[in-house]
A and B are shown apart, each in its own frame.
Chain A
Amino acid sequence: METLLNDFSVGLFFMQAIILLIVILLMRKFAWKPILDALQTREDGIQNALDSAENAKLEMQNLQADNDKLLKEARAEREAMLKEARELKNKMIDDAKTEAQAQANTMVAQAQAAIESEKKSAMAELKNHVAGLSIEIAEKVVRQELANKDKQLELVESMLGDAKLN
């Protein structure tokens, strides 16, 4: 302790105090203040950048979700449209089919009716024709047969006989 006190130099203490004070003041003014300020601003900047990046990420996520939703909606809409179109197509085809069927049916019926009436008229004509022919033939035959009296009488007789039988 004694040697230490002996070594203690008041002058050195004094010089050190002055130098330290000056160094502290100078460093504060020319170094620490600008350095700490710059570090602070830089850290604030980094914090802001990080925050905004985080925000952007969230926004992106939201956007992504929106996109997904939109996409889903669009897909559903397309699906619905396709379905509708398919239904419409089927309906059109069905309609066309039934219409065609009906038309065909009426056409067939008309044709049948026409055929029937043609047939009827043809039959009637045929009948008339046959009747005419048979009368003509009968006329001719009768003329031939009734050329002599005997035969006439014989015929009358047979007819009368038939008539009796009836």
Chain B
Amino acid sequence: MYNLIGAGLIVIGGGIGLGQIGGKAMESIARQPEAAGKIQTAMIIIGALLEGLAFGALILGK
């Protein structure tokens, strides 16, 4: 039961983080469309790091 609540919290945190990354990346792409490739790569890397964190927490709690 508790680890389910924990999993929910992790997902909320991860979702907020991913939203921030994605939103900011979109903004930057809109501002500088010529740098879209670089921004995308950086976005994916940071998203992956965040994902690693979230999955790590999920698995430790499992």
Interface residues of A (CB under 8 A from B): 1, 3-4
Decide if the interface of chain B is mainly helix, strand, loop or mixed: helix
**A-B contacts, CB under 8 A, total:** 7
Interface presence of B5 (CB below 8 A): no
Q: How far is the CA of A29 from the CA of B57 in the complex (A)?
A: 40
Interface presence of B62 (CB below 8 A): yes
Interface residues of B (CB under 8 A from A): 59-62
Q: How far is the CA of A3 from the CA of B62 in the complex (A)?
A: 8
B36 to chain A, nearest CB (A): 25
When C-beta atoms are compared, the residue in chain B nearest to A2 turns out to be B62
- List chain A residues, Cβ under 8 A from B62: 1, 3-4
- List chain B residues, Cβ under 8 A from A4: 59, 62
Q: How far is the CA of A3 from the CA of B3 in the complex (A)?
A: 14
B53 to chain A, nearest CB (A): 16
Q: How far is the CA of A133 from the CA of B10 in the complex (A)?
A: 167
When C-beta atoms are compared, the residue in chain A nearest to B61 turns out to be A1
- List chain A residues, Cβ under 8 A from B59: 1, 4
